[in-house]
Structures are given as structure tokens and as C-alpha cells.
Amino acid sequence: MTSPRTFSSILVTGGAGFIGSNFIRWLFAQPGFIGKIVNYDALTYAGNPYSLDDVAQSVGDRYVFVKGDICDVAKVAETIERHAIDCIIHFAAESHVDRSIVRPDDFVRTNIHGTYVLLQAAREHAGQVRHFHHISTDEVFGTLGATGFFTEDTPYAPNSPYSASKASSDHLVRAYHETYGLPTTLSNCSNNYGPYQFPEKLVPLMILNALEGKPLPIYGDGQNIRDWLYVTDHCSAIWTLVTRAPHGSTYNVGGRNELTNLTVVGEICDLVDRMAPPLPSGAPRRSLMTFVKDRPGHDRRYAIDCTRIEHDLGWRPAETWQTGAAATVRWYLDHPDWVAQVRSGEYQNWIATHYSA
């Protein structure tokens, strides 16, 4: 096996979001990592620089935050040059399927055009930028029936504006490698959960609603299946690919944790019942589950076959759903300040005073 690639100055786009902030925290905690990370993020509603406050304090000038839009050609180029960026790890995106159904335009702009701007910037800084990793989703493959798995060879069939925009960005990454020889890698990952996830996504929404005794909205019949991966397992997969996967390669990443939404929500209810004070009524939190109108175009089942990354690179997830779900519920119960900030929008005032564009 050849030696892993090393980098001294990494541009992480979208590092104030859920997975990006976990990735930055995780990478700084790796004993072998001695480089610098530049977190480039526009701070949309989903971006919260508070999430990395403690990391920023502990690593000093090895961490830099730049408030910027990935569609801003000049700012992207200036950041790459000023910080001598040698690797780009691209998380920034509009990521919530329901929002893409209501208002697709931001998804087209950020996910497609923004990815193009970054690829073009990497190409214009060839030689300096030695690697480009693109984070994508299993949703590009569409939906499965009761059997089968998505492999790296499954044809793309996106069903939502979100997944269509991610599919487009994946094709651009592929094209920049094939046409210009850009040194890329790409990963398609299943549903992540864990600390610092914005509470519009299923897991944190259900934890917080269950805690507060609010209804738990289940779309349709609740039998839709997702494959759940604890976020730090995704982080270790990304770093494995950035440092060791062949240029031009694509890998699926999943947790081998297929669960129906009803199972996910029911088990979250049980965990909250066990870890938090009971509801005033004394009823179990499962009684809060409420069936609501289905999501339009709701994909029925996602299931990732991640044999390729396991076989080629020896990556394995460390967490099971049981360990990851318990850790996630514990984290949300222990971090009411973070929850209050992201819900109140108070952190937007903090952003305005700390990070003018």
C-alpha cells in the first residue's frame, strides 16, 4: 500500500454545519494530524460557528474561520491563495429535502453552481491544490424496493430537488476528473445523526419534541427505511478516502443500520423516557407519535452496500444504532444552550458582531 497523502492546509467548506463541524472537531483530535483547517462557510440558517468555539480556543491559529459563499469566485480564490490551501473537502450545501421541495432555487445555486465554482478554483490552482473531496448522498440513487442495495455502480435516479442538485454536483466532480485530471474523490453517504445536527432533521427534531412533550410528526405510514450512520463514523470514512482512495474514485459509506422511521422514533422515545424526567401526564413518549401528510416524492427505502470501502481501505463504523442513538440523546439533553441558540436565532446576532462578511 502507498503512503497516505498528507496535507498542511485544508479548506473545509460548510464547516459550521452538522457534519462539517463534527469533521473539524474529529480531525483536530487525531494524533497524526498537525495541519491547519480553514473553515469556509456562508453561515446560512444551518451554519453555527458556536459549535466549534471550544475547538477554536484549543488549537489556536491552526483553525481559521472565513465567512464566505462558495459561489463567490473572488473570495474562494483569495482564500485558497492566502492560506496556501493544498486540499479541499467540500461539505457546504443546502441539505434539507423538505426545504428543497418548497424552495429549490438555493439548492440549485449552492449545490450545483457552488460546487462548480470550487472545482474551477481547484483547477486554477492545480499544483497547489492537490486533492478535492466531494461529500455526497445516497439519495442520488433514488429509492429501493423491499430488497437490494445501492452500490457504487447503481445508476443515478434522484427524486427530490435536493438529490437532483447533489447528483448534478457529483457529475461535475466526475467530469473535472475525467476532463481536466483534477485529483478528486467522492463519497455517497447514508443518513447521519449525532451531536450538533440542526433540529429540522428527523433525529434531533424527535429528541427535542419528545423531551418537551410535543407531537412527533411521522410522514405517511412511517415505514420508510433509512440506513443510519453515526456522524464520527462518517468523519473517519471521509479522512480515509481523502488520504488513501485513488483519484477519480467513488465510494459508498453506510452504517448497515436499516431502520423504519417508526422504529427510529419509537426508540428515541424510549431513550428520552429513560434519561429525562417523565411527561407531566405520566404517558410514555411513544404516545406523542402523530401520523401526518406524507412528503411529496418520499423515497421508500435507502440501503447502502459499503463493501468497497470496507474491502479496499479497511474502514468500518465504530458505532451501532444502539450506542449512537444513546450518545445522541445524551448530547441533546446535556446541551440546552446550544439548542436554545440555534432555535432562537440568537447566534445570528452573535454572527453579526463576530463575522462581518
Active-site residues: which are they?
138-139, 162
Residue 224 binds: one of ligand NAD, ligand DAU, none (C-beta under 5 to 8 A by kind):
ligand DAU
Residue 256 binds: one of ligand DAU, ligand NAD, none (C-beta under 5 to 8 A by kind):
none
The Cα–Cα gap between 227 and 256 comes to 6
Cβ contact 127:4 at 8 Å: no
Residue 33 Cβ, how far from ligand DAU at the closest point, in Å? 26
Residue 70 binds: one of ligand NAD, ligand DAU, none (C-beta under 5 to 8 A by kind):
ligand NAD
Residue 111 Cβ, how far from ligand DAU at the closest point, in Å? 10
Q: Which residues contact 179 (CB under 8 A, 6 or more apart)?
A: none
The Cα–Cα gap between 155 and 152 comes to 8
Q: Which is nearer to ligand NAD, 281 or 353 (CB)?
A: 353
Q: Which is nearer to ligand NAD, 47 or 183 (CB)?
A: 47
The Cα–Cα gap between 162 and 316 comes to 28
Among the candidate windows 24-32, 108-116, 216-224, 267-275, which touches ligand DAU by CB under 6 A? Answer: 216-224
**Quick one: which of 115, 191, 232, 328 contacts ligand DAU (CB under 6 A)?**
191
Q: Which residues contact 269 (CB under 8 A, 6 or more apart)?
A: 206, 210, 216, 284, 285, 286, 288, 289
**Positions 157 through 176 that interact with ligand NAD (CB under 6 A):** 166
Is residue 97 at the binding interface for ligand DAU, with CB under 6 A as the rule?
A: yes
Is residue 144 at the binding interface for ligand NAD, with CB under 6 A as the rule?
A: no
Q: Which residues contact 174 (CB under 8 A, 6 or more apart)?
A: 184, 186, 248, 250
The Cα–Cα gap between 115 and 123 comes to 12
Is residue 96 at the binding interface for ligand DAU, with CB under 6 A as the rule?
A: yes
Nearest to ligand NAD by Cβ — which residue? 17
Binding map of ligand DAU across residues 144-183, x = CB under 6 A, - = no contact: ----------------------------------------
Is residue 264 at the binding interface for ligand NAD, with CB under 6 A as the rule?
A: no
Any idea what the Cα angle at residue 326 is, between residues 320 and 330, rounded to 5°? 145
The Cα–Cα gap between 224 and 246 comes to 34
Nearest to ligand DAU by Cβ — which residue? 137
Q: Which regions of 36-183 does DSSP assign to beta strands (E)? A: 36-41, 63-67, 87-90, 131-137
Is residue 288 at the binding interface for ligand DAU, with CB under 6 A as the rule?
A: no
Residue 205 binds: one of ligand DAU, ligand NAD, none (C-beta under 5 to 8 A by kind):
ligand DAU
CA dihedral 136, 140, 146, 150 (to 10 degrees): -60
**Positions 85 through 104 that interact with ligand NAD (CB under 6 A):** 91-95
Cell numbers that stand for 222 in this block? 412511517
The Cα–Cα gap between 349 and 220 comes to 37
Burial of 275 (0-12, 13-18, 19+ CB in 10 A): middle
Q: Which is nearer to ligand NAD, 7 or 162 (CB)?
A: 162
Q: What is the contact surface with ligand NAD in residues (CB under 6 A)?
A: 13-14, 16-20, 41-44, 46-47, 69-71, 91-95, 110, 114, 135, 137, 166, 189, 191-192, 198
Q: What is the contact surface with ligand DAU in residues (CB under 6 A)?
A: 95-97, 137-139, 190-191, 201-202, 205, 217-219, 224, 226, 261, 295, 302
